[in-house]
Structure 1
Amino acid sequence: MDISVSDAKGQLTELVRLAEEGEEVILTRHGKPVARVEAISAPRAKDRRAVMEAVRRQAPPKGLNDVSAARSQDFLYDEDGLPR
């Protein structure tokens, strides 16, 4: 469907609905195509899962083996356990 930009101003909601249904909506200015209105397809769950798994495989391991979590912030406190 081709529609002029000036006509599309008053029909935007309807044009978006048509695009969501798969209709090709082309906006024109002086009879020449200048823009397209199209639906954005949401990523499927399995595609999102594949991306997340790839990110997890590339992530560094959790925690550091050479630093004790119990002692990691000792420099912030004095011998009585109060903040310095």
Structure 2
Amino acid sequence: MASQVAAFDAKQKLSELLNRAHGGETIVITRHGVPYAKLVPIEAPADRQEAKHHLLERLRTQASLNLPPVPREWLYERDSI
């Protein structure tokens, strides 16, 4: 069963809650007694190949903005004062 923590307490104890989640605990964050969010441990991929596969799959399915290329010099323009 998940532990419940009020939002105010979660802000005060975020590091502790992160450590607990890293240890496998699930924590439900509530606001005025109503569940708002869940802090859960992540499941790390078994190896680099699996992590690479997950990343490439996400990039493949992610929507593209189809923006035109940006000239390199635009990245370094500075407004004069």
User: Which structure has the bigger radius of gyration?
Assistant: 1
Partner residue, 2:78:
none
Does 1:41 pair with 2:28? no
How big is the shift at 1:41? 1.8
Aligned to 1:28, the other structure's residue is in SS state strand
Residue 47 of structure 1 deviates from its aligned partner by 5.9
TM-score, scaled relative to structure 2? 0.55
Q: Which residue of 1 aligns with 2:24?
A: 22
State the 4+ residue runs in structure 1 displaced beyond 2 angstroms: 49-52
State the one-letter code of the partner of 2:26.
E
Aligned to 1:12: 14
Unaligned runs of 5+ in 2: 58-81
Deviates more, 1:41-50 or 1:11-20: 41-50
Gaps of 5+ in 1: 56-84
1:2 correspondence with 2:4: yes
AA aligned to 2:36 is V
Any idea what the Cα deviations from partners look like across 1:15-44, whole Å, max 9, x if unmatched? 011111111100000101100011222111
Question: Counterparts of 2:9 and 2:51 in 1: how far apart (Å)?
Answer: 42
Q: RMSD between aligned alpha carbons?
A: 2.7
How far apart, in 1, do the equivalents of 2:21 and 2:51 lie? 27
